Amino acid sequence: MEVSSVKVREQDKTINHGRLDLARDNSVAMLVEFRLELAQYTLEVL
């Protein structure tokens, strides 16, 4: 019984880690998009 619960816990860790990576990738993508929009806006203003 103990062993299986440990395995489940390890699985939860990897799942949570994956979610964290996904969230980080998403925020990076948003930052890049924001930078691009800002650059476009700046070009239009100039």
Could you tell me the CA-to-CA distances from 37 to 31, 40, 41, 44 in Å, in that order?
Answer: 10, 5, 6, 11
Tens place of pLDDT for every residue, the chain, 46 residues?
A: 566 777 878 878 877 777 888 888 888 889 999 999 999 999 888 7
Q: What is the pLDDT of residue 34?
A: 92
pTM of the model: 0.48
Taking the C-alpha atoms of residue 41 and residue 20, their distance in angstroms, rounded to an integer, is 31
Q: What is the pLDDT of residue 17?
A: 78
Handedness of CA 31, 35, 40, 41 (dihedral sign): positive
Could you tell me the CA-to-CA distances from 35 to 13, 20, 39, 42 in Å, in that order?
Answer: 33, 23, 6, 10
Overall domain count for the chain: 1
Which range of residues forms the domain containing residue 41? 1-46
